Amino acid sequence: MSVCAKCGGKGFYTRRYSGETLCVGCFGESIVEKSRRTMAKYRMVRRGDRVGVAVSGGKDSLALLKVLHGIRQDQGTELVAISVDEGVAGYRDEAISHARGLTSELGIEHLVLSYKELFGFTLDEALDWKEDREVSSCSFCGVFRRRAIDEAAAKAGVSVVATAHNLDDYVQTFMMNLLHGDVSRLGWLDPAYEDDSFPVRRVKPFMEIYEEEIALFAYSSGLPLQSVSCPYMHEGLRSEVRDWLDELEAGHSGMKNVLLRSSLDVITNYGSASRKASVPCSNCGNPSSGGLCNVCRMKAAVEQHINYRG
């Protein structure tokens, strides 16, 4: 029987990339400590911050809320949970229910905003004209979700928003930018970067933790798991990059960690020079790379097609 390297108890999980075996308790503590170290390294939160935690209701975001709730007093922060209901039939309702359940259990303020009330349409309605779109569903949704989180953050009066993007998400995004030739976007991945033109700071406390470890933490903590996946999740390049990185990691343990370190080196040495300055959108005034922001551009396209169908 395997034993915990920390306390000698019954082994629960072995990190293939390090060979370290941990019991349930020590494994959970390691996730909290990794998150704490990442937050300290990049000064993600400051004492007195009112932190908005983006809680979709999936395993990663529920785990993040639980971790941040556990260390909030040490950090000197106040938490507010922020959820965005994109309007995906048969999927989002369950997740929002999970988010409401945990925030109620932890006694955390919870704000829910929907695409419908913010933009006038649900994601399902917006994606009904799929054959005419030039971007994947995930890319399309991401543009609106980021704006919705900003709107929710402003309504909640928070100074920083924490998202549950993990190590896998981070390296996937880095690789996708390279494969798309979007090197000018690499600077936005710098975890220490701040842009005063944006309403709130965005931080990723889980960015140095494997997705499978976050899932195991959620399971071992008794957090609810969704019974269905987003019906749009397998569209676009990200799904292929995810599968490729998983296959690489299976054959070469620790490869994702190596890629994370390499991506941070590239971003540190190149990202600041490549980063484009943001300017106000000519329509809504929110930060944009120039002219109309993506939200206004895509919203106009959706409205045009919805009106055409009507």
27-41, 183-197, 236-250: range with lowest mean pLDDT: 183-197
Cα–Cα dist 254/259, whole Å: 9
**pLDDT tens across 111-129, in order?**
999 999 999 999 998 887 6
Number of domains in the chain: 1
Residue 283 lies in a domain: no
Task: For residue 222, tell me if it sits in a domain.
Answer: yes
| SS3 state of residue 192 | coil
On whether residue 145 sits in a domain, the answer given is: yes
Q: How far apart are CA 82 and CA 53, in angstroms?
A: 6
pTM for the predicted model, two decimal places:
0.91
Percent of the residues in the chain that have a pLDDT greater than 90, as a whole number: 66
pLDDT of residue 232: 81
Count of other CB atoms within 10 angstroms of residue 228: 11
Count of positions (residues) in the chain: 310
Could you tell me if residue 167 is inside a domain?
A: yes
pLDDT tier at 273, thresholds 50, 70, 90? low
Q: Per the domain annotation, does 290 fall within a domain?
A: no
3-state helix, strand, coil in the chain (%, to 5): 55, 10, 35
72 within some domain: yes
pLDDT at residue 256 tops 90: yes
Tell me the per-residue pLDDT of 5-63, one tens digit each, with 9 for 90 and over: 999 999 999 999 999 999 999 999 999 999 999 999 999 999 999 999 999 999 999 99
Range of the domain at 122: 35-276
Instruction: Say if residue 244's pLDDT is above 80.
Output: yes
Q: Which CATH number is 231's domain given?
A: 3.40.50.620
Would you place residue 195 in the very low, low, confident or very high pLDDT band (cuts 50, 70, 90)? low
Q: How confident is the model at residue 196 (pLDDT cuts 50, 70, 90)?
A: low
Residue 160 included in any domain: yes
Indicate whether 189 belongs to any domain.
yes
Query: In the predicted model, what is the mean pLDDT of the chain?
Result: 90
Distance CA 285, CA 294 (A): 12
